[in-house]
Amino acid sequence: MKIKQKNLEGFTHCPERSVYEREGKGYKTRKELFQGPRPKLMGAGFTLVEVLVSMFVFSLVMMSMVGIFGQSTASFKSGKNIQANLEEAQFALNKMAKTIRTSSVFGNDGIQNNLKIFNYSLTDSNCIRYFSMNDKLMVNSNTQADRASCESVDFINSDADALIEGYVSNINFKVVNSLDKSKVDGPKAGRVTMTLKICESSDEKKCANIQSSVSLKDYDVSMTP
């Protein structure tokens, strides 16, 4: 004897078959009836084109970041080198200024690319010449008895020593000679202004200008022959 029980959505339970039937509509299992249709999966994955586009965009971003990091590193290194060269140049100019202050300068007033002096406060290496050679600031020195002896000295470039190891260009000395008391407008202190350009390399793309001035104290020394 077939027993049917009324159930959901017009289906009746058939115990002997363990299914739910509806006239003219076939049958469903308990799982199909109570769980309903299986939902469709949405956004289950990416297409090949989407993956390739994502990888291309990611590569561009990474390349940009690497380029920016490289430029920052190079700029930091360049700035550090320029700073070190500036400190070295400033030390050299301060040392030169201390020597020049108690010296007499040879040559006429105006801008010179080398400077020859006789220092009154030194007993050794008192005849000195500063000049530029091979993109370096160089110095020659020897010992002379007096100013007149120093003036006649011809220095040899190969005997010079470098004051600054960095690349140096545009070295100039602007000289205003002192006037001793024998001159009409004397006594009057002279002045030497030193300017140079210190660079990271010979291409002169990254450089810094530096200048220093010093007053001469030889105005009370008679320079009349």
Express each pLDDT in 58-91 by its tens digit.
Answer: 999 999 999 998 888 888 887 788 888 888 888 9
d(CA 99, CA 96): 5
What pLDDT shows up at residue 42?
54
What pLDDT shows up at residue 70?
87
Q: What percent of the chain shows pLDDT beyond 90?
A: 28
- Read off the pLDDT of each residue in 21-32 and give the average, rounded to a whole number: 54
- 13 forms beta bridges with 5, 20
Residues 6+ apart with CB under 8 A from 121: 102
191: its two tokens = 């002045």
In this predicted structure, the answer to whether residue 108 has a pLDDT above a threshold of 80 is: yes
Please tell me the pTM assigned to this model: 0.65
